[in-house]
Chain A
């Protein structure tokens, strides 16, 4: 088992290293000299040359890569050419915003999806079950940003119940933080709950056919009670898998919702940096996103290895 965990860890490290090369490689294909972009519309060749020297973009690529990579390991992303400030504290700040948004959305999605999905499975032969399934089909088919715009139009602009957009850090004014985060979290969770619900439903359906549930029912428990008592835990693995996969995808996927609700998260930061040709910031944000995804995969892999006896036995 330990060997397997080490294997997972080694894979993580190799994948991470490869990813840094990929990101650096892609970024260097970007059209346009960063110095020329920074110099803007009234640039002269002398100005561009001077800026290139200042940025260090006139040095050989391996040197630039090592510079960036060694900084990365120290958690220091360097100073952006464009904004002329340290990138690391900014990225750290935006990561928190994104994580808060996505975590809350995922929790809400689970809170909706688990009971509804279970219900849909238990009643899969009845109209109510079919209705829930149909709703989840619809939920998946509606783009998240559309739901977001709909919520803004209705709840903020028409009814005036909540602010239309913006972000307040929880530590500054918790009440305002909640008021502003309700709509974006709902928009994100709406689609996610539909996705997760489908997994919950099929996982519960499968469990319902297992022997021990039949035994439990034979002992006189009602189908719902039998399921609640014994089945749900077993249905948890596929649901946890999809939750972790969705969580990773959401951190970047939330960019569209961040745009609609003007939330200063990682996605907004990435889009702005791309627009400004802020190479170092783009590289850093992409690396953080990739690292988060890989880390979640690693944690899930390791947890499975530790906890699942079947996986432990497999190959």
Chain B
């Protein structure tokens, strides 16, 4: 009696467990999976870190969305090539008026959206006006503020009138604000994107992967590989493990430089060391003590050995520039000599400012580059008598809230990825850096309204002023490292746009 009750109890629990397992294995948990034969030349699996939260960049911030969708699902009238110059895309050409205030675009013919609708001048008008409307909730929409009106001249011709001449506007049209939409395709952009690009969204398993398929009715060159899977990983180590065991074919924008050595020496793989638009910015809150004192900021600039930071934290990869402009921008110049590494000068400046034995808090976002950089900066500042307390801020949420929105910080470090963002960062005293833009405001406005040569010269002056004022320290330009199987070609080594362009990639 005693015993039989107990055996029944064991039986019941066992049966429960077993039936649970059986029911579960029968169903399709986890939906579409990771498996995929990589020998198949019509397939490509790309490893990325940081999954998009949804696919609608018109309402949602975050670099992962344009990375997956621009150039692949969406296209603009113009695009930039690997060297950073503007090229035709959906527009075959354009003309500017004498006063540089209007642009007339001639459109590519026979272009269809992935939902079958035709692309013409009315879609351009719709897309640009939509950016200016309440439908767009992405702060980048302000790039379209300069547009006054859009006229449909003919189905193949569209004229955009600006309120004032602007050199920066045409460049903005290569970014996500210039993406072309169709009125019939904007109902559920978060889940069902509709664009003119070479790929269409096949499926999306959240927490795992996005599958794209090449379009048969694409107007241009067919993509080199028809079925592309973008697989998202939590960290860089998982991506290299997946590449080593053959689950993925390409790691794009790899975030663990220390892991490169094993791939560099292996002939089965290729390593592409490109540049990007991302600057690693060591920001100092210009409005709050002690960094409201220019001398203290300058002391930091002298105290931080940028070369050692890059070599130690990022294994020597990345470009040293000295200012917040990547070498691929037209107004780039080498500003490394403005503040060379000089700890003695740093100490002298701190003494002059009465800030010896300074205690500061360094708010570091939880990203591999940031923690790596922070440890080196910590040690270097200690050498000149600045005692740093590192406080980690979960990225993006806590960092955005505390540093970016509430400006509640003294020092921070972040990778600024937006293209041509000098003015975003420094021409706005209410930005989290808090740089007083009185000296650069007028010059920046004049430069934008003038011709190309004056624009470049003016912007160079603006950047130099910002650097001389020690508004913040640009540690280095973030490298764009890709690791791929040896047989892949057409991978854009440089990340000069926000997109990862998949169509040119092919197996050789």
Contacts and interface: CB of A to CB of B under 8 A. Distances in A.
Interface of A: 31-32, 36-44, 47, 50-51, 82-85, 90, 93-94, 96-97, 99-100, 103-104, 106-107, 152, 156-157, 160, 162-173, 176-177, 180, 230, 233-234, 236-237, 240, 259-260, 262, 264, 268-269, 271-272, 274-278, 299, 303, 307-309
A309 B9 CA distance: 12
Contacts of A156: 241, 244-245
28 contacts: A40-B61, A41-B61, A43-B61, A50-B134, A50-B137, A83-B54, A85-B54, A85-B190, A85-B191, A94-B207, A103-B17, A156-B241, A164-B244, A165-B245, A166-B33, A170-B26, A180-B34, A237-B6, A262-B238, A264-B206, A269-B207, A274-B394, A278-B53, A299-B16, A307-B6, A307-B8, A308-B5, A309-B2
A5 to B, nearest CB: 15
Given A167-B33, A307-B6, A268 B139 contact: no
Contacts of A278: 53
Interface string B229-257: 00101110010011011110000000000
Nearest to A167: B30
Interface stretch (B311-319, B395-403, B479-487): B395-403
A180 B33 CA distance: 11
B170 interface: no
A312 to B, nearest CB: 11
A124 B394 CA distance: 49
Contacts of B20: 99, 103
Contacts of A40: 60-62, 138-139, 396, 400
A264 B205 contact: yes
Contacts of B5: 307-309
Contact of B244 (A82, A83, A157, A166): A157
A244 to B, nearest CB: 8
Interface string B16-29: 11001100111111
A272 B395 CA distance: 11
B438 interface: no
A46 B72 CA distance: 31
B12 interface: yes
Given A164-B244, A165-B242, A38 B61 contact: yes
Interface of B: 2-3, 5-10, 12-13, 16-17, 20-21, 24-35, 51, 53-54, 56, 59-62, 134, 137-140, 142, 190-191, 205-208, 231, 233-235, 238, 241-242, 244-247, 394-398, 400-402, 404-405, 424
Q: Which of A44, A107, A272 has the most CB of B within 10 A?
A: A272
Nearest to A106: B17
A162 B400 CA distance: 40
Given A93-B31, A309-B2, 17 more contacts: A37-B397, A40-B400, A43-B139, A93-B30, A99-B24, A100-B25, A104-B21, A156-B241, A160-B245, A165-B247, A167-B208, A169-B32, A171-B25, A230-B3, A268-B234, A274-B394, A277-B396
B21 A103 contact: yes
Given A84-B190, A85-B191, A264 B53 contact: no
A100 B21 contact: yes
Contacts of B242: 163-166, 262
Contacts of B231: 166
Contacts of B138: 40, 42
A303 B30 contact: no
Given A40-B61, A41-B61, A303 B53 contact: no
B140 A42 contact: yes
Contacts of B241: 152, 156-157, 164-165
The A interface is mostly helix, strand or loop, or mixed, namely helix
Given A100-B24, A166-B247, A272-B51, A42 B142 contact: yes
Nearest to A155: B245
A103 B235 CA distance: 26
B61 A236 contact: no
B61 A39 contact: yes
Contact of A47 (B3, B139, B205): B139
Given A94-B207, A164-B244, A303 B9 contact: yes
A264 B33 CA distance: 10
Nearest to B244: A157
Contacts of A309: 2, 5
B33 A36 contact: no
Nearest to A261: B238
Contacts of B140: 42
Contacts of B7: 233
Contacts of A303: 9, 12-13
A243 to B, nearest CB: 8
B26 A277 contact: no
A152 to B, nearest CB: 6
Contacts of B26: 170-171
B54 A32 contact: no
Contacts of B139: 39-44, 47
Nearest to A51: B137
A172 B238 contact: no
Given A47-B139, A276-B397, A157 B404 contact: no
Contacts of A277: 396-397
Contact of B24 (A82, A103, A166, A275): A103
A168 B207 contact: no
Contact of B35 (A94, A103, A176): A176
B400 A268 contact: no
Contact of B238 (A165, A168, A173, A276): A165
Nearest to B9: A307
B34 A166 contact: yes
A110 B60 CA distance: 47
B339 to A, nearest CB: 26
A171 B27 contact: yes
Contact of B206 (A39, A44, A83): A83
B61 A93 contact: no
Contacts of A50: 134, 137
